[in-house]
Amino acid sequence: MIVAEHLTKRFPGRRAPAVDDLPLEVRDGEILGLVGLNGAGKTTTIRMAAGVSIPSSGRILVDGVDIVREKRAASKRIAWVPELFPYEPTVRALPLLVYFAGFYGWNSAEATRRARERLVAVGLGEDEQGLLRNFSQGMRKRFSLASAMISDPANLLLDEILNGLDPAGIAFVRTWVQESRREHKAVLLSSHQLTELEALADRVAFVHQGRLLRTIDRAELARAGTPAYRFTIRNLDPAALAYLGSVGTARAEGTTVWLTRPTAESHDVTAELVRRGYQVAECRVETTSLEAYFLELIGEAR
């Protein structure tokens, strides 16, 4: 279990904190999705949970162990896959994993066995002597996964783990994360691929400007899935937006308007727009997705 209490991080020269009094809990046997715009504080939060960045205030507990005060003990219980590849590019895959395995006190034979096993598991068994600088972006991500798996920890921090992976890589990660949940591990997964997150996560925490907006579970997301209308209006103007805002929550992107929480039927709204002289090129009725739900939260927070 990973627990953040009143977590705050301030950086010199910035007026607002990157992370602001954030509460977070990742339970054993759970995948918690972390969603936010760029700069929302997701990576900063994960780096603090991994023990590579020190909180300005608050604390993070890994299975009840403080990641700052008892870093060595806590670090043995957690693995971190960062978004950017952090390893020296001039080394070879297997020797580096064997080196990492040595930190856990295994002898050379056991360390080599575990390292080879992890490389095979992520599809890099034939590349164990390859230089990391020659690895593709997807191969580097797979190596990061192998590194995280080396000690089989009970808690996982996965920061944009799906970036740079091909479909086969995404399928592997999906299966691995689901198996980790079945093994009662705590998984914190941040991603901009909200469709994947929606399919994987047991709960989703929405963060904005360093603060937690809301945490919902799958049942709550399903209940939030009310009809949403998507209009394409060629001559969209503020008056059209004002009307749409009177029959729901309207958000415009170019000539497209999302109308969530509508209080009128889609055909009635379309007819009224046409009566007012607007050219409605398209109207679709959809169910609120994780993305739409998040954007609605962001709109409420502004």
What would the pLDDT profile of 3-53 be if each residue is shown by its tens digit? 999 999 999 988 899 999 999 999 999 999 999 888 899 999 999 999 999
pTM: 0.76
For the cut 70, the answer to whether the pLDDT of residue 300 exceeds it is: no
Clarify whether residues 171 and 29 are in a common domain: yes
Clarify whether residues 133 and 258 are in a common domain: no
Clarify whether residues 30 and 87 are in a common domain: yes
Boundaries of domain holding 147: 2-222
Counting the structural domains of the chain, the total is 2
The two three-digit tokens of residue 48, written as one number: 């603090």
Pairing of strands 2-9, 227-233: unpaired
For tokens 């992520």, name the residue: 122
Report how far residue 153's alpha carbon sits from residue 69's, in angstroms, rounded to the nearest whole number.
19
Clarify whether residues 114 and 237 are in a common domain: no
Question: pLDDT digits over 146-204, tens only?
Answer: 998 888 899 999 999 888 777 888 888 888 899 999 999 999 999 877 777 878 899 99
pLDDT at 135: 93
Clarify whether residues 81 and 158 are in a common domain: yes
Clarify whether residues 191 and 232 are in a common domain: no
Domain end call among 205, 222, 239: 222
For tokens 């960062």, name the residue: 82
Question: pLDDT digits over 107-161, tens only?
Answer: 999 999 999 999 998 889 999 999 999 998 888 988 998 998 888 899 999 999 8
Domain end call among 222, 239, 270: 222
CATH at residue 196: 3.40.50.300
